Structure 1
Amino acid sequence: MAGGKIKEGGYRDMCTIGKIVYCVALSVFLVVLIIPIRAMAIVVKINQSKAINGNVTPGDSPGFPVTISQPGSYRLTSNLTVTNANTTAIEITTDDVTLDLGGFLIKGPTACSSGNPVNCSPIGTGDGVNANGRVNITVVNGTVRGMGGDGIVGGKAYRIEDVHVISNGGDGIVGGYGIVKENTATLNGGNGISAGGVITGNTVLDNGQNGIEAVESTVLGNAAFDNVSYGLSSLNNGGYANNVFSYNNGNGDQVTGGNETGFNVCGADTICP
């Protein structure tokens, strides 16, 4: 101190005898605050090498599926390639998981050809991502192609966004009640999307069954083209608005079920079905 004033210089100079307690309390507060933030920021990386070696999370055996058994954030850092149509790529066995595909591809051995019917071979039980029965699951930002079963199985209270599901033997995206937003589902052997909740901003085309099969859902702003069955099959009185359905169901009715709650385009008509 000089002239009765505390020398300016920041946090360190505040630690005069009269302010020791303040400094200790502030330091403890910062430690308590920063450590949880750093812990929350941890993202577990998944790639082909780690999948083959196993132990991505406790109980994850070498090879596929990669088992995610702990809540948290996960990100692909390479493509994942599965060679058996009956093998799932990623199995989520816990709640509260965010999986960022990182723009990468989960690829299986199945190929589908367009037509009526859509033919897929080989078909099997292996899914790209399976979180069946789990809660609070998020899958974003990537592609699932060529799985023998479904592309993504979302569980319930989930979010699937910005994902391309292509040429899978079963449905493209499957889930209970959640959010399915801004995805593309193309040339899957089953439905493009089969889900409940909010289905919005998706593009579904050339799928072997319905473009969208919605259960008690709000279906907003989607586009469905050239699907073998309906563009939208709405079960249990859901609502739909601001969608475009065209060339589905052999140019027959584009929609079955549900309540038209706003403007839609069904083929050349603005009244559905």
Structure 2
Amino acid sequence: MRHPSLQQCATIILLAWQSLSLAAERVIPIDPARTDKPGFMVVIEAPGHYQLAGNLKVTDANTTAIEINADNVIIDLHGFAIQGATRCQQLPAPCWPLGTGNGIHAVNRSHVTVRNGIVQGMGNYGIYLESNSANLDHVVLSRNGHGGAVFFGGVISNSVAETNGGDGIFGVDLKVNRNIMRGNQLLGLAAHGQSSFSGNKLSANNGNAAQTNLKSAAAAGNTCNATACP
């Protein structure tokens, strides 16, 4: 029996690696017309890189746009928006209608990333990620009924939380870097545990009272109503 040469073995390994790489990089489109089950428009059940193919419109304040039931998931909004029916046009008056629907929701998951788009008008929160390694980048969270984003562990960067009906960003054990938080009904940033923030701009939150519960180091570069955060 003839055995393959070292070169042939190397070629087989390379082809297998390339196949795995292509599979890992494959983008799975999310059809905006998708309705997986009552109360949830899109349910993610497997790891992967998912990408919106258009604006995802949610007409009910109690419906969640994207529910994540898997680890190792990337949601690329691809410049599109998740659009709910809630309006917060006259803060500090309450947003209406309120509900239980979130833009993107995950509980007890790891390695979840959301990036590149807008989440607005949800009845509950724009994004709610209960994950030990969540990442939010280049996302606008606007006019969501109970708040912009809720994170339990993770990094939020290069994003905007504005005119939400609660805190702009709320969470535990967060790293919050280079974001804008403005015009939210409660705090711009409410963070607990081992949280840190740097390079953020907070303004007109909480009726122009305290902008955040965190104390800012002088070198962190955070501003509250255009002056250094205390």
What TM-score do the two structures reach when normalised by structure 2? 0.89
Once the 2 structures are TM-superposed, how far is the Cα of residue 183 of structure 1 from its aligned partner? 0.7
1:242 aligns with 2:221: yes
- Give deviations 1:149-197, integer Å, cap 9, x for gaps: 0000122211011000000001101111110111101100000001232
Amino acid corresponding to residue 205 of structure 1 in structure 2: R
Regions of 4+ moved over 4 Å: none
Q: How well do the aligned residues superpose, as a CA RMSD in angstroms?
A: 2.0
Higher RCO (CA < 8 A, seq sep 6+): 2
2:210 corresponds to: 230
Bigger fraction of residues in strand: 2
Change (3 A) 1:43 1:111: same
1:239 Cα deviation from its structure 2 partner = 5.5
- Residues 62 and 40 from structure 1, CA distance in 2 versus in 1: closer, same or farther, beyond 3 angstroms? farther
Matched, 1:85 2:74: no
1:153 correspondence with 2:128: yes
Structure showing greater radius of gyration is 1
| Alignment-derived partner of residue 133 in structure 1 | 108
Alignment match of 2:51 (pick from 75, 79, 86): 75
- Do the aligned residues in 2 keep the contact of 1:114 with 1:206 (CA within 8 Å)? no
Partner of residue 206 from structure 1, selected from 183, 197, 201: 183
Q: Which amino acid aligns with 1:233?
A: N
SS in structure 2 opposite 1:24?
helix
Query: When the two structures are aligned, how many residues end up with a matched partner?
Result: 221
Shift of 1:118: 3.6
**1:39-54 alignment to 2 at 5 Å?**
39-49=23-33, 51-52=34-35, 54=36
Which structure 2 segments of 5+ residues have no match? none
CA positional deviation for 1:108 = 0.5
1:105 to 78, 81, 87: 81
Worse overlay, 186-195 or 36-45: 36-45
TM-score between both structures, scaled by the size of structure 1: 0.76
Name the CA distance, whole Å, in 2 between partners of 1:177 and 1:63. Answer: 26
**Identity percentage over the alignment?**
35
Q: 2: distance between equivalents of 1:29 and 1:88?
A: 43
